[in-house]
Amino acid sequence: MYKTLNLLNAEIEERYSDKGKIIFYNGNALDLLESVPENKIKLIITSPPYNIGKEYETKISIEEYLKTQEKIISELIRTLSDNGSICWQVGNYVKNGEVFPLDIYYYRIFKKYGLYLRNRIIWHFGHGLHASKRFSGRYETLLWFTKSKDYTFNLDSVRVPSKYPGKRYFKGEKAGQPSCNPLGKNPSDIWEFVAKEWDKQLWDIPNVKSNHPEKTIHPCQFPIELVERCVLALTEENDFVLDPYAGVASTLIAALRQNRKAIGAEKETEYYEAGKNRINDFYNGKLNIRPLGKEVHKPTGREKITKIPEEWKLKKVL
Ligand SMILES: C[S@@+](CC[C@H](N)C(=O)[O-])C[C@H]1O[C@@H](n2cnc3c(N)ncnc32)[C@H](O)[C@@H]1O
């Protein structure tokens, strides 16, 4: 009854099967999850709707919103393998100018189901809406939970270059020997907008706005490199990676790029179709992807847009 689409190199199924490599369902996440047996998924990574009135959602009360989310979360936890992880990326819900940080609300739900928080990652980006009655919001969070105390964490596959690789022990048995890890350092739990991610103790992944090579019709898609970092650290090859709110398939593409199996649901047909095209483009080598860890553009000071407007100088604004 469910279609299997034959793309040039990608075969997309619409229902879970142990042998499926790409499962992408156009419909409600709960319907797809019904087809997934328990204990199968190594990593669930997603950015749920924030209930802020985006074009794909109807704003409801925060209580009602969290109740709907809890239904999906309990199903997700059923499908998660015992050594698996959930990465839940959220920002704020805002009502009448008051800010409700969604990760605080979600933390309680995940704890109720017995999960363990391993990191609360701050994802900082340099652009966004300018607020006038509070400071402009420039970060969101990613809560990384594990289902048990026995979990996969491949730190070596996501290390970043050390700032001072030439540092040496200055005393003790190892005096004179290099003190850094030759594979690089732990990328830390803050991802910041800097020219080179190893310039500061911060991770550096720009959000997907119009000047980003991955931009599609979706209003708030994941940067593929953000997902890739989690895929590399928290799963092994051929593990299943699931995104219940898959949008234009960024998670699925990150998983496939790293030779994992991908599964996701997206209710909006327009995004689903765009996602399927991206998967197809990926398999045909035509998808633009910002490479993991690539430097973020930093103005040199010579660009026109970095100069103070002449009118401001004349009016003595500055
Ligand atoms: C924040 S966006 C995620 C975007 C995605 N990370 C990407 O990179 O494209 C949330 C998505 O969830 C979809 N969605 C909301 N409720 C859903 C549901 N119950 N089942 C499936 N998709 C849903 C929305 O249409 C929207 O595209």
Q: What are phi and psi of 75, to 5 degrees?
A: -70, -40
Mutate which of 50, 64, 266 for ligand 1? The one with the most ligand atoms within 8 Å of its CB, which is 266
pLDDT at 106: 98
pLDDT band at 10 (very low <50, low <70, confident <90, very high): confident
C-alpha 14/C-alpha 20 separation (Å) is 10
9-13, 246-250, 281-285: least confidently modelled range: 9-13
Mind listing the pLDDT tens digit for each residue in 289-300? Answer: 777 666 666 667
Read off φ and ψ for residue 22, nearest 5 degrees. Answer: -130, 115
pLDDT score of 136 more than 60: yes
State the pLDDT at residue 286.
87
As a whole number, mean pLDDT of residues 157-162 equals 91
Q: Name the residue of 25, 52, 56 to mutate for ligand 1: max ligand atoms within 8 A of Cβ.
A: 56
Which residues span the domain enclosing 194?
4-314
pLDDT at 6: 43
CA 130 to ligand 1 centroid distance, Å: 25
Residue nearest to atom 7 of ligand 1 (CA): 221
SS3 31: helix
Atom of ligand 1 nearest to the CA of 247: 9
**By alpha-carbon position, which residue is closest to atom 12 of ligand 1?**
245
Centroid of ligand 1 to alpha carbon of 249 (angstroms): 10
pLDDT for residue 7 is more than 60: no
pLDDT at position 225 is 85
Rounded distance from Cα 317 to ligand 1 centre (Å)? 44
- Best residue for ligand 1 mutational test, from 76, 241, 267 (most atoms within 8 Å of Cβ): 267
pLDDT surpasses 90 at 312: no
The pLDDT score that the predictor gives to residue 195 is: 31
CB 201 within 8 A of CB 188: yes
- Between CA 126 and CA 34 the distance in angstroms is 39
**pLDDT of 114 higher than 90:** yes
Please state the atom number of ligand 1 nearest to the C-alpha of residue 68. 19
User: What's the CA-to-centroid distance between 29 and ligand 1, angstroms?
Assistant: 9
Average of per-residue pLDDT values in the chain: 87
The pLDDT of residue 44 is above 80: yes
Which amino acids bring their CB within 6 angstroms of ligand 1? Answer: 28-29, 47, 49, 56, 218, 220-222, 245, 247-248, 250, 265-268, 271
Q: Which of 167-171, 173-177, 211-215 has the lowest mean pLDDT?
A: 211-215
pTM: 0.87
Q: What is the pLDDT of residue 113?
A: 98
pLDDT for the residue 90: 95
Query: What pLDDT digit, counting tens, does each position of 225-260 carry?
Result: 889 999 999 999 999 999 999 999 999 999 999 999
CATH classification of the domain holding 42 = 3.40.50.150
In which band, very low, low, confident or very high, does the pLDDT at 220 lie, cut at 50, 70 and 90? Answer: confident
- Residue 113: count of CB within 10 angstroms of its CB: 16
Q: Which residues pair with 4 in a beta bridge?
A: 13
Residue 1 has a pLDDT of 38
Tell me the pLDDT tens digit for each residue of 55-97: 777 788 889 999 999 999 999 999 999 999 999 999 998 889 9
Identify the residue whose C-alpha is closest to ligand 1 atom 5: 247
CB-neighbour burial class of residue 221 (10 A; exposed 0-12, middle 13-18, buried 19+):
buried
Distance CA 288, CA 147 (A): 34
Domain count, the chain: 1
pLDDT band at 205 (very low <50, low <70, confident <90, very high): low
The residue type of 130 is H
Of ligand 1's listed atoms, the one at least distance from the Cα of 244 is 21
Rounded mean pLDDT of 128-138? 89
Q: Does 206 score more than 90 pLDDT?
A: no
Is the pLDDT assigned to residue 194 strictly greater than 60?
no
- pLDDT band for 3, please (50, 70, 90 cuts): very low
* DSSP annotation of 45: E
